[in-house]
Chains A and B, each alone.
Chain A
């Protein structure tokens, strides 16, 4: 075959290749040619900024129903409520207050209602120094035993705060102890975590825990 013919055939092949490319490019459907599984929107619960509990002070501010806090509807003003302990000296919670679970302090250290409540005036709280505190000042009561934590709370280092770090522009709002801690079972409640991250690529990223101690 002459060189000229070889060149001619080669050029024809190249021509065909280029034409095939034109067709391939123009007929491409477009898009990224990638598929990724959809990511669900996160539950709005996880964006919620409200506290776990509402304190008495919150209820007052909101003008909510305070009938639960009207002790003398049932109790007798002249007579302090009796304290019943079982053989292990654990407190027996009255059935009328069955929603209260006593868990303040390990080994039942704090299982006396009147360590905090004032038995002669049930609408008040009583710290050890004899002061009388309203329910809306319950933080003072907590602080009378939990000193370091109270100091931190005062400085804004413990507990939730919101609002303005720059006090000249607005108020900084400190939440009370009982906004997070149930006074009868103060341990901070555990909860379900929000979903973990969805990495862009699947290669190598396993769905579950990856750590092995190696």
Chain B
């Protein structure tokens, strides 16, 4: 038991240490985020000392950008978990990586939500009044109390799921189904609830007819599931790009650089196949006589980091299986390299060309000193005569090659449908407000056309609507299948919906006041700094989470190599020694 606790603490300690290590891009990014976060913290201290007068809020408009950002981020957190559904339907082990990235984004988003709510409080020192049992928790009457429960519950759910899966990966043990699958399904339902409860905060106020409408809840969900997956699409591409060897401090091999000395080759031996079987058990089903016939057609290469194993566009038709180490597969598109995937022991690459002769679709580099088994096309075909090997190779081929792109396209479909629904609901709202001509529409009038010479929000809402409509058209057209256009569309979605939810929902509810006073709102500099600070803090958290989780998922941060010093010459001995 104590060994388990000790191991866990070592795991946490190593996670913290790894967050301090990175390449110059990592330091620049985290340095920038930390600096902005500190500016935000300083601005918040000023607010804590002097009160909310340093913001732009007033009795007339008593909620502002803090709550606007909170509302938007609850949606992002809810949608991050939607990634989970394709995974558990496709039942692919490797997609778990993406699930974890999505759930880590949810954790970061919820942390930001909690931060935004806290900075909005007039007396944050009285937070303990909210704790049920110790304080006075107005559950179930107050929707805010519901929100406290669902947000914190969601945070705990996601922290548990991510933490558990990552720790299992770290220890290279298979995660126990009952420890996370039920929680994942709960998280899916919970995600819908956090956003519905947040919508109900507004819908439940009869004194504010602009909010007291049944369409607010569905619109919240539709816009959340548009903006959230759009954010994930963008974030995943960034993750893909930076989880290359350069971010790990091991040098950055780019295609076509100075030629490296050719890798050492030797003929394959039966032991190599035994080694391969450890990682790819299906090889064990190949009868030894077949293996004997393969040997002349197989080679083993010892490669150093940066060594190129195959190049995009070539037609050489060897297939490769990794025996030890790590290989990165990068695809060049439009002058830039985009990482398709990283492969570890037991995994294959280059098999498509071997099997059907199409030119190499990507370039493969060794990321670390590796041992790679190279098979000729004939050898591969021979190997695949075994039905089990055939099945595993084909399944990995079809699912793994375009896995990241497929996930992105799945997300694109979610964004597409959600945006269509979102625009449809907007049309419903506009019709309802303006067609009948009744008098409860003053806030909508203020928002869309201005009221009594006040029209500060009009350009914002129409920009948001334009962005949403353009994004909707792009999503429906096939042009958004190309990543460049998809990214433009995602940015339009995110910005459009941020404006719509923040300025288009929270602020007009206060203008005019219930007594008809017109008072507009502009966030102060201090308030804006606090917002930037919290966003930076959230992004910093997410960056650090990724920095910790990517090596774990790649197998490079694991319990086995605990305590190995960076001179890796005696790593084999030290790392192999049992600890604890």
Q: Which residues of A contact B (CB under 8 A)?
A: 3, 6-7, 9-11, 13-14, 17-18, 21, 25, 28, 31-34, 199-201, 203-206, 210-212, 214
Name B345-401 residues within 8 Å CB distance of A.
Answer: none
The contact of B23 among A7, A9, A200, by CB within 8 Å, is A7
Of all A-B residue pairs in the complex, the 7 with the closest CB atoms, nearest first, are: A204-B520, A14-B31, A6-B24, A10-B24, A200-B58, A7-B24, A10-B27
Q: Which of B148-156, B284-292, B448-456, B495-503 contacts its partner?
A: B448-456
Q: Could you name 21 residue pairs across A and B whose Cβ atoms are closer than 8 Å? A: A7-B23, A7-B27, A9-B24, A10-B25, A10-B27, A10-B28, A13-B28, A13-B31, A14-B27, A14-B35, A18-B35, A21-B38, A32-B50, A32-B53, A33-B54, A34-B524, A199-B59, A203-B456, A206-B453, A210-B517, A214-B451
Interface string of B226-250 (1 = CB under 8 A from A): 0000000000000000000010010
| Chain A neighbourhood of B524, CB < 8 A | 34
Given contacts A10-B28, A10-B31, A17-B31, contact A199 B60 (CB under 8 A): yes
Given contacts A32-B50, A210-B452, A211-B452, contact A205 B519 (CB under 8 A): yes
A201 touches B38 (CB 8 A): no
| Chain A neighbourhood of B53, CB < 8 A | 32, 34, 200
B522 touches A203 (CB 8 A): yes
CA distance A6 to B28 in the complex (A): 10
Instruction: Give the number of chain B interface residues (Cβ < 8 Å).
Output: 39
CA distance A203 to B60 in the complex (A): 11
| Chain A neighbourhood of B260, CB < 8 A | none
CA distance A36 to B35 in the complex (A): 31
The contact of A14 among B28, B46, B519, B522, by CB within 8 Å, is B28
CA distance A32 to B527 in the complex (A): 12
B50 touches A210 (CB 8 A): no
| Chain B neighbourhood of A199, CB < 8 A | 58-60, 517, 519
B456 (CB) vs chain A CBs: closest residue = A204
Majority secondary structure, A binding face:
loop
CA distance A210 to B513 in the complex (A): 14
| Chain B neighbourhood of A32, CB < 8 A | 46, 50, 53-54
The contact of B246 among A3, A10, A14, A203, by CB within 8 Å, is A3
B521 (CB) vs chain A CBs: closest residue = A203
A201 touches B519 (CB 8 A): yes
A201 touches B58 (CB 8 A): yes
**11 additional contacts, CB 8 Å, given A25-B38, A32-B46?**
A3-B249, A14-B28, A18-B35, A33-B526, A201-B519, A201-B521, A203-B56, A204-B454, A204-B520, A211-B452, A214-B451
| Chain A neighbourhood of B428, CB < 8 A | none
The contact of A3 among B24, B38, B454, B518, by CB within 8 Å, is B24
Given contacts A33-B54, A210-B518, contact A200 B59 (CB under 8 A): yes
A21 touches B39 (CB 8 A): yes
Given contacts A7-B23, A21-B38, A210-B452, contact A205 B31 (CB under 8 A): no
CB distance from B287 to the nearest CB of A (A): 48
CB distance from B468 to the nearest CB of A (A): 26
CA distance A31 to B525 in the complex (A): 14
CB distance from A205 to the nearest CB of B (A): 5
A36 (CB) vs chain B CBs: closest residue = B53
- CB of B163 within 8 Å of the partner chain: no
Given contacts A9-B24, A32-B53, contact A21 B518 (CB under 8 A): no
CB distance from B522 to the nearest CB of A (A): 5
CA distance A200 to B251 in the complex (A): 58
Name B5-50 residues within 8 Å CB distance of A.
Answer: 23-25, 27-28, 31-32, 34-35, 38-39, 42, 46, 50
CB distance from A44 to the nearest CB of B (A): 26
CA distance A204 to B59 in the complex (A): 14
CB distance from B519 to the nearest CB of A (A): 5
| Chain B neighbourhood of A201, CB < 8 A | 56, 58, 60-61, 519, 521
CB distance from B367 to the nearest CB of A (A): 14
A8 (CB) vs chain B CBs: closest residue = B24
CA distance A14 to B38 in the complex (A): 13
CB distance from B310 to the nearest CB of A (A): 25
CA distance A7 to B251 in the complex (A): 12
| Chain A neighbourhood of B46, CB < 8 A | 32-33
- CB of B315 within 8 Å of the partner chain: no
| Chain B neighbourhood of A210, CB < 8 A | 452-453, 517-518
- CB of B570 within 8 Å of the partner chain: no
